[in-house]
């Protein structure tokens, strides 16, 4: 079946966000990146900056969501008061992503959307990565990261994403088997990646 | 630059071997799969069955190759007598793969060829995986594995490949960042994967 939802997971600096935006524009659907953060902020009551920082980077402590909700909603509701702020953001993020996917064709960037939507068969799950040199270049040119220790900072951001993913999914971030398609944007270019994804999504 | 060498790493039962053969046929180049094993057997003096089993599954003990060759060939030659049989097969395999790559356009299936040829810029490194149900189906229909505990056996074979890869490369097998392209053959079909790879190799 055609894949009407595309999730883009990406290394920091790989250009995955830009690829997601271009794909959405080409397919005439919404790219949930900043838009997703705005929805989670509105629903959770936290502000956007906090949601952006918390919703994809490693929280402290142990994720209790699966325990809280494993034995039924009543128990979950009872336990939700004990969840950390990170876990609350994560729960709202889960809910918002599931609702968007049920409602419309879209591109969703980051936020473990591949895992949250893993049971759906109308999703194309993509992971974008790139060699360090290109990630550093993009971090400097597009995110204006400081030139000193930039490589270390790029690695640190990836590590935080990996920890966050592990924490909430139990899976290893960037393992090929978790995605339908993984692309090296350094090898194919952003435009090349975009073409491959759009072609596959349409099939 | 066009990629004249394609390495295919693959989960057991993912159809990666068949994809490699089809790509090679389409591009009019040799697929080194059994042919590679024959060359390693001839060069090492071990028989094909042994090379096939040893060259991709986990050996016991610690890989000393990098130590042996890290401080120059003379020291390496001196130490090679102390290497295990697995390590000797691995060394010959390395040599044969490097020689093939230097000589001709080709497809190389498995055998950590992605790692061995990582310094070349004329390679397209591909990883093929598939959901368990499809790997089990292929294991039963094509490799005639026994139906009892077939899922466990498929997992065991993957685990052995992962251990072997870790042992000789220090890297995690199946991590997207180690390949230019990773594909779920269950999502795209063997023919679909073949088309994607051939298109990218030609660019």
Q: Which residues of B touch A184 (CB under 8 A)?
A: 177, 179-181
A53 to chain B nearest CA, in Å? 24
Mean pLDDT of chain B: 86
Whether B186 has a pLDDT exceeding 90, the answer reads yes
Distances (CA, A) of B116 to A203, B88, B96, B98, B169: 35, 15, 10, 7, 9
Q: What is the pLDDT of residue A72?
A: 36
More confident residue, B185 or B145: B185
Spatial CA neighbour of A93 closest among A123, A132, A65: A65
Residues on chain A touching B201 (C-beta within 8 angstroms): none
Strand locations in A50-176 (E): 106-109, 123-129
> Could you report the per-residue pLDDT of B90-123, keeping only the tens digit for each?
899 999 999 999 999 999 999 999 999 999 999 9
Say if residue B88's pLDDT is above 60.
yes
Contact B8/B19 with Cβ under 8 angstroms? yes
Q: Identify whether the C-beta of residue B94 lies closer than 8 Å to the C-beta of residue B113.
A: no
Which chain A residue has the Cα nearest residue B187? A180
**pLDDT recorded at residue A67:** 42
CB–CB contact A129 B177 (8 Å): yes
pLDDT at B80 over 60: no
Q: Is A1 on the interface with B (CB under 8 A)?
A: no
Please report, in tens digits, the pLDDT of each residue of chain A (203 residues total): 677 999 999 999 999 999 999 999 999 999 999 899 999 999 988 888 888 887 777 555 555 554 434 333 333 444 556 678 888 888 999 999 999 999 999 999 999 999 999 999 999 999 999 999 999 999 998 888 877 889 999 999 999 999 989 988 999 999 999 999 999 999 999 999 999 999 999 88
| Cβ within 8 Å, pair A175-B179 | no
Among A127, A175, A180, select the one facing B187 at the smallest CB separation.
A180
Q: Angle CA(A202)–CA(B1)–CA(B3) in degrees, nearest 5? A: 70
Residue B75 pLDDT exceeds 60: no
Tokens at B189, concatenated: 């079909």
Residue in chain A lying closest to B180 (CA): A184
> What is the pLDDT at residue A62?
54
B193: which DSSP letter? H
CA-based nearest distance B38→chain A, Å: 30
Helix axes B132-141, B185-202, angle to 10 degrees: 90
Q: What is the pLDDT of residue B114?
A: 95
User: What global pTM score does this model have?
Assistant: 0.88
Whether residue B203 is predicted with pLDDT greater than 90 in this model: the reply is no
Report ipTM for this prediction. 0.88
Question: Does the beta carbon of B179 lie under 8 angstroms from any beta carbon of chain A?
Answer: yes
What residues of A are in contact with residue B172 (Cβ under 8 Å)? 172, 175
Reported in sequence order, the residue ranges of A95-150 that DSSP labels E, i.e. its strands, are 106-109, 123-129
Asked if A195 has any chain B CB less than 8 Å from its own CB, the reply is no
Rounded to whole angstroms, the Cα distance separating A187 from B82 reads 40
**Element holding B9 (H helix, E strand):** strand B5-10
Contact A11/B127, CB-based, under 8 Å?
A: no
Mean pLDDT of B159-169: 90
User: Over the stretch A109-122, which tens digit does the pLDDT of each residue have?
Assistant: 999 999 999 999 99
């Amino acid at each position: 079946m055609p894949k009407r939802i595309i999730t883009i997971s990406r290394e920091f600096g790989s250009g995955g966000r830009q690829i997601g935006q271009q794909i959405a524009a080409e397919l005439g659907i919404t790219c949930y990146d900043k838009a997703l953060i705005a929805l989670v902020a509105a629903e959770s009551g936290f502000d956007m900056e906090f949601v952006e920082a918390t919703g994809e980077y490693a929280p402290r402590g142990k994720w209790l969501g699966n325990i809280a909700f494993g034995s039924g909603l009543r128990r979950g509701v009872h336990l939700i008061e004990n969840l950390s702020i990170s876990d609350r953001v994560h729960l709202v993020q889960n809910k918002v992503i599931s609702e968007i996917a049920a409602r419309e064709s879209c591109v969703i960037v980051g936020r473990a959307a591949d895992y949250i939507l893993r049971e759906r068969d109308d999703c194309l799950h993509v992971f974008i990565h790139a060699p360090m040199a290109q990630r550093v270049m993009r971090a400097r040119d597009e995110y204006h990261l400081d030139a000193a220790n930039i490589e270390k900072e790029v690695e640190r951001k990836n590590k935080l994403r990996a920890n966050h993913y592990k924490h909430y999914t139990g899976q290893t971030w960037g393992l090929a088997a978790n995605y339908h398609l993984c692309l090296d944007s350094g090898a194919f270019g952003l435009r090349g990646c975009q073409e491959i994804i759009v072609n596959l999504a349409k099939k």
